Amino acid sequence: MSKVKFRLQCPECTHKFYAPSMFPECCPGCGYEYDPHDDTVISMPAIKSLVSKVADQTYRDMERSSEARAETAAQMLGVPVSDMSSLKITDLRDNTKPGEIAMPAVNNAVTQQMDLMAARGGTVGFAGGSEFAAGTAQGAVSLNGKVMTGIVPRAGATALGSLQRASGRG
Structure confidence at residue 134 as a pLDDT band (50, 70, 90): low
Give per-residue pLDDT as tens, 60-101: 898 899 899 999 999 999 999 888 888 888 777 777 788 887
The CB density around residue 114, as the number of other CB atoms within 10 Å, is 13
Is it the case that residue 164 has pLDDT exceeding 60?
no
**pLDDT score recorded for residue 78:** 93
Q: Please, what is the average pLDDT of the chain? A: 76
- Domain-located, residue 163: no
Percent of the chain at pLDDT > 70 equals 65
Q: Are 62 and 25 within 8 A, CB to CB?
A: no
In what helix (H) or strand (E) does residue 88 lie, and over which residues does it extend? none
User: What would the mean pLDDT of 142-147 be, rounded to a whole number?
Assistant: 70
Does 42 score more than 80 pLDDT?
Answer: no
Q: Is residue 15 part of a domain?
A: yes
Is residue 142 a contact partner of residue 153, using CB atoms and an 8 Å limit?
no
Query: Euclidean distance between the first and final Cα of the chain, in Å?
Result: 83
Lowest pLDDT segment from 27-41, 80-94, 149-163: 149-163
DSSP E strand stretches across the chain: 6-9, 16-19, 139-143, 146-150
Tell me which residue range forms the domain holding 55: 50-105
